[in-house]
Structure 1
Amino acid sequence: MEKSEDSSARTFMELMRVPVQFYRSIGEDIYAHRSTNPLKSLLLKIYLYAGFINFNLLVIGELVFFYNSIQDFDTIRLAIAVAPCIGFSLVADFKQFAMVRGKKTLILLLDDLEDMHPKTLEKQQQYKLSDFEKIMKRVINIFTFLCLAYTTTFSFYPAIKASVKFNFLGYDTFDRNFGFLIWFPFDATSSNLIYWIMYWDIAHGAYLAGIAFLCADLLLVVVITQICMHFNYISMRLEEHPCRPEEDKENIEFLIGIIRYHDKCLKLCEHVNDLYSFSLLLNFLMASMQICFIAFQVTESTIEVIIIYCIFLMTSMVQVFLVCYYGDSLIAASLKVGDAAYNQKWFQCSKSYCSMLKLLIMRSQKPASIRPPTFPPISLVTYMKVISMSYQFFALLRTTYSDN
């Protein structure tokens, strides 16, 4: 009889499964350094680079379309429509670039987390791994659904709509439209063959952008979940330690182990910042503009466009909330260590023990956090600021457009 999921120990690779598999679907292999098949690794790398070359050519087409559209007030609406897609594409591009640039840091971070991962079922119960995993899975499922729903809707809606009209509603012509507004140096709708080649080319580019955008955040969710779990375990161990006065040597050995453990977790947080700081800065700046432009499209378009852009709006808002939520969780989990240390029966211990404990409490007062350059540590307060900034841009855009 098979063991249920709750009665078997979870490996670190099982927790990493979703981002790893999605990354591999675009040719990015996070664990390429462990591969025993060099040919497979080479083919994946070629597929990844070819995909990003194609994707960036499409982004250039979007930028040209945007530039052409802002030249005339009559086409400014088209520029506003393509702007969120450009923002999404640039963030996806920069996230992938950050992952490639920080590959050594990423490998070191994941190897350390795997080494620290509780291996036995008994240990995992002490760490409350199942509770952290349940929340993580829900977050991953919701965000993955929204992100893939956005790219799928934009990619395939025009073809589905045209097919229904042509095959079932008796229209004489098949409308050759694309889901994204892109400039081509040739007529991409001149024949069925060229149209469908370009259509699937754009669909692949959209999928690659969606996965690059999605997986960087899924990786962040898995990593921060693990680090929060370790901070929580440190807090539990500190609070539950009996501090028996007659066991001073054992008390000091215990505290030395906890301090080393705590220091290791703080170093992991620095690795996260090395990987994500600049990409998150661009992410938040672009998110404000994206939400603004998407909201404008929702208030100024037809029902079918509103539905499509509502999915995009939800994806953008959930993505920003997700990063801010986990940033807030990391701050709370690291601050909890100091509270747990103070709640011990430290007054029963020796002066040496109390001095060491004091240093641990002092260090925990500066919480671990995700810190983009020039931004304060990311928390739910950051989310409110991004939404507020987006609304201000939106109000300015509406006023400017209405006056003209």
Structure 2
Amino acid sequence: MLFRKRKPKSDDEVVSFDDLTRFPMTFYKTIGEDLYSDRDPNVIRRYLLRFYLVLGFLNFNAYVVGEIAYFIVHIMSTTTLLEATAVAPCIGFSFMADFKQFGLTVNRKRLVKLLDDLKEIYPIDPESQAKYHVPYYRKHMNRVMTLFTILCMTYTSSFSFYPAIKSTIKYYLMGSEIFERNYGFHILFPYDAETDLTVYWFSYWGLAHCAYVAGVSYVCVDLLLITTITQLTMHFNFIADDLEAYDGGDHTDEENIKYLHDLVVYHARALDLSEEVNNIFSFLILWNFIAASLVICFAGFQITASNVEDIVLYFIFFSASLVQVFVVCYYGDEMISSVKLTDRPFGLQSKLAALQHQI
């Protein structure tokens, strides 16, 4: 059957570590990026994916150069200032996608090591996952990932396919005498990209793939940040909950010492992993805020001064940029709140002091 009714999930169903990282990993592979490519025994597949990734980014950056050339040429004319600034948000978005991909490539080994370390401390049995509230974190994380991905990919898809859909409807359904050969993004081509229909469609689908590569590389780095912070938050909250529920008076001194030792080691490792997350993603986040601020300004300007069609498109763009900034801020706040266990009524420091006093 095409639509088969899904079986309800059992309460004791185990959520694997790969389940939490599958979405960004699989999504990344659609543009040829595989973080675990060095572990792939299939050499041919590994090199084909790498070739596809490099080819995609060469095509992507070729169109970015065309956008920059268009911006430079038209910014000189005051009569086309609005048209010139219309490409500015796209250039900013492209730079962010390029910079994110560059940052991920530079920190690939560190990121893979971070994921391996998170996998080592990940709870694998149903009882432990219930204590860690893994299903809750997974559900919450998937909701944020889905909303963020849909919004960002809607922006790239709407800009990419709207001109072709509009021209098709006008030509085949509304009786237009000519098929308008427009592009979703303002590009200065080094050749005539509109006169010949074959050249037009070749250029059009190249631009569409360029937008897809930009969207995926833009989104997936943030998705990896979300999944790593979600897991670290889960570990810190488990430490707080477990310590709050622990009663040293019900155990021997040896048991309390062992519990303290294991907890301190576990807590120190979680702190080290959180520091590694900061080292890997901090500069990318800084660039995100700088570039996103410029993109939001230019997109907002287009919303206030464009026609209805452009207003809708740029509003989607504007919303995606705002959500991207919000997601980073939200998970950063979640991380800070989970680390500050001393703020809780029975925080880490006070509870440790009480246990040490009992010992």
Give the counterpart of 2:82 among 77, 80, 85.
77
Secondary structure of 2:87 counterpart: helix
Unaligned runs of 5+ in 2: 1-5
Contact 1:102 1:274 in 2 (8 A): no
Aligned to 1:47: 52
Aligned position for 1:401: none
Q: Which residue of 2 aligns with 1:294?
A: 299
State how 1:5-404 maps to structure 2 within 5 Å: 6-244=11-249, 247-336=252-341, 339=344, 340-342=347-349, 344=351, 346-347=353-354, 349-350=356-357
Q: TM-score, length-normalised on structure 1?
A: 0.84
How far off its partner does 1:245 sit?
7.9
CA–CA distance in 1 between the matches of 2:222 and 2:27?
12
- Tell me the SS of whatever aligns to 1:15: helix
Give 2:168's aligned amino acid: S
**8 Å CA contact 2:68, 2:91 repeated in 1:** yes
The offset of 1:350, in angstroms, is: 3.2
Amino acid at match of 2:348: A
Q: Distance in 2 between matches of 1:56 and 1:115?
A: 38
Distance 1:326 1:348, change over 3 A: closer
Query: How much does 1:315 deviate?
Result: 0.5
Q: 1:251 offset after TM fit, Å?
A: 1.3
Unaligned segments of structure 1, at least 5 residues: 354-404
Query: Does the 8 Å CA contact 1:136/1:221 hold for their aligned counterparts?
Result: yes
Q: CA deviation at 1:75?
A: 1.3
* CA–CA distance in structure 2, aligned partners of residues 312 and 135 of structure 1: 24
TM-score, normalised to structure 2, is: 0.94
Specify the code of the residue in structure 2 equivalent to 1:110.
L
Helix, strand or coil: the match of 2:86?
helix
Q: Contact 1:239 / 1:343 at 8 angstroms: preserved in 2? A: no
**Residues in 2 aligned to 1:84 and 1:158: alpha-carbon distance in whole angstroms:** 18
1:298 maps to a residue whose letter is I
Contact in 2 for aligned 1:240/1:344 (Cα 8 Å): no
Number of residue equivalences: 352
SS in 1 for 2:147: helix
